[in-house]
Amino acid sequence: MMNLTQVTYFTLAAYFDTRVFKHLFFLIVLCLYVLIIVSNVLLIVVICMSRSLHEPMYLFLCSLFVNEVHGSTGLFPLLLIQILSDVHTISVPFCFLQIFYVYTYANVELCNLAVMSFDRYIAICYPLQYNTRMTTHRAFIFIAVIWLFSFVKVLITLSLHLRLTLCGNVIDNVACNNYLVVKLACSNTSVNNIWGIFGVILTVVVPLVPILFSYMRILKVCFFGCKQTRQKALSTCSPHLASLLNFSFGCMFETIQSRFDMSAVPRVVRIMLSLYFLIIQPLLNPVMFGLQMSKIRNACKDLFCHNKLTCHTDQM
């Protein structure tokens, strides 16, 4: 038995020998990471630089894109190092740092999607009162509360680990996982478990309430509203619903993979399922919101066309 403060590293046991394909996997993962960073940062820049997008809905989207970069940064750099390494270990500080990044990402993502659903509810059900009910100032407050709440919650979770006594240091995953670290404990984990249940209520149940409420009211308006209202609801809510469902499925895959015996499933499939919400969600969100929303597309065109025109004029 050893106290967590005495453990210097964890072994990530889910990796397997890829032999000659090691560098191919590295290039594929690197390309995915670059694509995620470039696409999300591009949309962050467009929203920040275009005054026409300085509205609550686009500010929430900007927060969402920032979170995709935040979550990806917690996974990909260490994943790339592990792919090239022959010894798949991670130091305790870096393991805790990765847990912090990944779990704050998951918290912020769901809370952000909940606030976005409430924003769409006000825009569709109370269009004439939208500018007074959902102001830019209120949007900034919502975003600040979401990020602060997520940071504090995860820091409390990690601080509870310091009192644990471990019976091992092998994590059966390709990345650090809060549940799997607690699972290694020989000491009493009742406090961790109680806080874990309370944390699930805070980060899953509480955001689901405004999401379900908002979409029940939006559906009611769609059924009894005019054709124009239905079209507006469909165009603004479809990317949000797709993002919400994709993230929910990803979290479900990760939960099943870490809590149940998946030895019958091929290891490659297990790895893909555990990383789904950290790879597919940051890839799809820029595509779904960037391509679906005409105002963002037009802002991209205006920004880059203006830059090209300015450069051409300067050369003349």
The predicted-structure confidence for 17-73, as pLDDT tens digits, reads as follows 777 788 898 999 999 999 999 999 999 998 988 888 889 999 999 999 999 999 999
Is the predicted pLDDT of residue 310 greater than 70, yes or no?
A: no
Report the pLDDT value the prediction gives residue 1, as an integer from 0 to 100: 56
Report the pLDDT value the prediction gives residue 18, as an integer from 0 to 100: 72
Residue range 136-187, pLDDT digits in tens: 999 999 999 999 999 999 999 999 988 888 888 888 888 898 888 888 888 8
Report the pLDDT value the prediction gives residue 221, as an integer from 0 to 100: 77
> Who wins on pLDDT, 21 or 106?
106
Confidence bin at 128 (pLDDT 50/70/90)? confident
Confidence bin at 234 (pLDDT 50/70/90)? confident
Q: SS3 sequence, the chain? A: CEEHHHCCEEEECCCCCCHHHHHHHHHHHHHHHHHHHHHHHHHHHHHHHCHHHCCHHHHHHHHHHHHHHHHHHHHHHHHHHHHHCCCCEEEHHHHHHHHHHHHHHHHHHHHHHHHHHHHHHHHHHCHHHHHHHCCHHHHHHHHHHHHHHHHHHHHHHHHHHCCCEECCCEECCCCCCHHHHHHCECCCCHHHHHHHHHHHHHHHHHHHHHHHHHHHHHHHHHHHCCHHHHHHHHHHHHHHHHHHHHHHHHHHHHHHHHHCCCCCCCHHHHHHHHHHHHHHHHHHHHHHHHHHCHHHHHHHHHHHHHHHHHHHHHHC
In angstroms, rounded to a whole number, what is the distance separating the alpha carbons of residues 237 and 59?
A: 16
CB 11 within 8 A of CB 88: yes
Is the predicted pLDDT of residue 314 greater than 50, yes or no?
A: no
Is the predicted pLDDT of residue 90 greater than 70, yes or no?
A: yes
Q: What domains sit in the chain, N to C, each tagged with a CATH number?
A: 2-315 (1.20.1070.10)
Is the predicted pLDDT of residue 5 greater than 80, yes or no?
A: no
Any idea which residue has 């825009």 for tokens? 123
Is the predicted pLDDT of residue 312 greater than 50, yes or no?
A: no
Output the CA–CA distances (angstroms, integers) from residue 10 to 13, 15, 181, in the order listed: 9, 13, 9
